[in-house]
Amino acid sequence: MEDPTIDEETLELAAQDVRRVIERQKEERQILITQMNILFVTNTALLSFLTISRLIAIFSLFSVLEILLLFFNFMLLIRSLLPRKFFVSPNLETDDFQNKYLKFSPQEYQSQMLVNLRETYNQNQKQVENISQSLTYATFVTAGIAFVALLHQVTVYFIPELQKL
């Protein structure tokens, strides 16, 4: 167990800092959800553009590439959207809470909660990083789709000789 001579004011300051960091982690998750929504809308808009302009309906190297990129991008977005288990501390579902934590002195309890919150933060941060990584890849693929669609449009409307690609 932690050293029981830790100053109570230090424990309270540490608890406030940990709560602040965990709150920042929640905000980061919310920002990632917003980014995910933006990418879904952007990809839907790109798909709509390609469908309305009938570029995707005409078989060509560009349309095949656009379809593959759109499919890959939606898979990345779905991967980032998949339900993930986020950890909480203390876990009230276990008997551990009643049998262990309620027997602690207030100082021991605060010390143990700090340790638990740190572990919870580390576990949840891995989930946040996985979501962030998927969204980063999806952002690059979205840019690739937009670039290929622009090239496709330029090719069809301004360089008729290249339409056969």
Q: What is the mean pLDDT of residues 107-131?
A: 85
Query: What pLDDT is attached to residue 97?
Result: 63
Q: Which residue has the higher pLDDT, 24 or 83?
A: 24
Query: What pLDDT is attached to residue 117?
Result: 84
Residue 1 binned pLDDT confidence (cut-offs 50, 70, 90): very low
Q: Which residue has the higher pLDDT, 19 or 163?
A: 19
Enumerate the domain spans of the chain. Answer: 8-164
DSSP letters, the chain, are ---TT--HHHHHHHHHHHHHHHHHHHHHHHHHHHHHHHHHHHHHHHHHHHHHTTTTTS-SHHHHHHHHHHHHHHHHHHHHHS--PPP-SS-TTSHHHHHTGGGS-HHHHHHHHHHHHHHHHHHHHHHHHHHHHHHHHHHHHHHHHHHHHHHHHHHHHH-GGGGG-
**What would the pLDDT profile of 48-59 be if each residue is shown by its tens digit?**
888 888 777 778
Q: Is the pLDDT score of 131 beyond 60?
A: yes
Q: Is the pLDDT score of 96 beyond 70?
A: no
